[in-house]
Amino acid sequence: MNDLESSGGKLPLWVQLPTSGVLLVILLLALRMVNGRNARFVIFACWLRFMLSAFHDYTFPKILAGLSINAAGSLALFGLGLLVLPRALLLSKAILSTYLLVIVIIASAYANHMITESFEPVTKFGLLIVIALNCYQALRIEDERRFGLATLLSFTPLLVFQALSLVLNVAKTDAGTNVRNFIGGYNHEAAFSVALFGLFIAAAVSRSMPRGLRFAIVPIAVVSIMLANYRTAILAMAPLIIYYLLFGISRFVGRSLRPLVVAVCGFALVLLSATAIVTLDRFSELRTIAQGDQPLIQHPDQFTISDRALLNGRSLIWSSYYYKWKEDGGEVEHLIGFGPNSWEIYFKVYAHNSFVDFLFEYGILGVITLCLVLINGLVMAWRTGAQRWTMISAHLSFLVLNLATLPMWQVEGLILYGLLMGYTMFYRLQGRTKYRRVEHPMGPALVT
């Protein structure tokens, strides 16, 4: 094992610093591709977050008033995003469910005397709101294609640093499984994979993206996620990939042959998926679950040594959270949870499931409001007209992602969902109205 491998997957500064200079130039080029401040905010916010996370040794530790540089950066981005937004957009019905979620977080914090602890999640969901609304506004007033291309450029830190980790053979190795994760020197494969998932979604859902570029970027994103080797993200890509394989390929044949092509491709996908589950060790646990040989949720005391390894320990984690909430919580905790970030008090690892996490921290009301947020996105996706099935597939992929990790807790995941919601809101508006171009103080706008 060479020195770089033994460093735990970190890229050395002599690689990161000059590369960051190149990435800064790419950011400036991306910002020049668009005109409005909303579009520039979205591009800058994505790029800055990915860059800060790349230097996690310096940006993660708390240094000022209990805040890390990363946390301060998120707070600053929230304030900047709020500043450039037209105030009327903050009253959009599309984000009312997210406001309800924030209210539940604050109520849980108040009930559990954890007001200070609510600052972080409220800021994170505030960032989700401003990313979504600024993305929506940018799509309204910018050239959609140029904005889409500029947004993709904001993800270049992820791809460039990962490419360097491949060239230098820098990988983070899981001590338990010896699985090697090429994550570009980032702190953890979960956040890195979720960030790459944002690139995958941004390329896949953009209607104006040149077809050739989409067919290049989507496979690159898929390969990058597989190199990061985070099984949750790999599985979560399935709904959107299936959609593109079934309906994307069918577009190249005549209408009369499309049902046959869809049927054949669908059968091939089922066969390949079944083969992978049966033969690949990486996914063999799914076979165990499908056969019903092992319950996902049971009392932690009932777990055998072999049971504890199921899904990389997720089954035990979920069960521990659930039974802690069920047995140690009173009526207040059952209704509104143990409070923001309370998992840190009781557990060593986070819940690896958004629904389990929200049940523990925010109770039944938290799960209900989280479901409302996700259902709201799916309902809007259904109303996007010609983009309906693309957007529904993207939202389903995000839903699957929530089942085994915490994109609703990670800033990278909230950026991903903010972009997805921005596109969904825009395509929903186009799906239900007819437009004419008019001049707008911030550029041409689409109005009814």
Q: Which residue has the tokens 């800021």?
A: 123
- Residue 341's contacts (CB-CB under 8 Å, 6 or more residues apart) are 114, 117, 120, 121, 361
Cβ-in-10-Å burial (0-12, 13-18, 19+) of 104 comes to buried
When comparing pLDDT for 3 and 292, which is higher? 292
Q: Which pLDDT band holds residue 65 (cuts at 50, 70, 90)?
A: confident
pLDDT band for position 147 (cuts 50, 70, 90): very high
HEC readout, 167-188: HCCCCEECCCCCCEECCCCCCC
pLDDT at 439: 39
pLDDT value, residue 248 = 63
pTM of the shown model:
0.87
Helices 69-84 and 37-54, packing angle to 10 deg: 180
Contact 241, 190 (CB under 8 A): no
- Between 201 and 210, the higher pLDDT residue: 201
- Provide the pLDDT confidence category of residue 270 given band limits of 50, 70 and 90: low
User: Has residue 30 got a pLDDT over 80?
Assistant: yes
Q: Is the pLDDT of residue 1 over 50?
A: no
What is the structure's pLDDT at 252? 55
Lowest mean pLDDT among 272-281, 289-298, 317-326, 389-398: 272-281
Taking the C-alpha atoms of residue 220 and residue 196, their distance in angstroms, rounded to an integer, is 10
Per mean pLDDT, which range of 123-132, 219-228, 327-336 is the poorest?
219-228
Kindly report which listed range (62-76, 257-271, 340-354, 385-399) carries the lowest average pLDDT score. Answer: 257-271
Please enumerate in sequence order all residues whose Cβ is within 8 A of that of 322, keeping only pairs 6 or more positions apart, or say none. Answer: 297, 356, 359, 360
Token pair listed for 121: 């999640």
Residue with tokens 């523990």: 360
Per the prediction, the chain carries an average pLDDT of: 84
Higher pLDDT, 440 or 156: 156
Q: How many Cα atoms are found within 13 Å in the side-chain-facing hemisphere of 151?
A: 38
Q: Which of 81, 20, 60, 92 is nearest to 415 (CA)?
A: 81
pLDDT value at residue 435? 43
Question: Which of the pair, 186 or 441, is modelled with greater confidence?
Answer: 186
Top mean-pLDDT range of 9-13, 78-82, 172-176, 183-187: 78-82
Check whether 287 has a pLDDT greater than 60.
no
CA-closest candidate to residue 373, choices 89, 78, 95, 90: 95
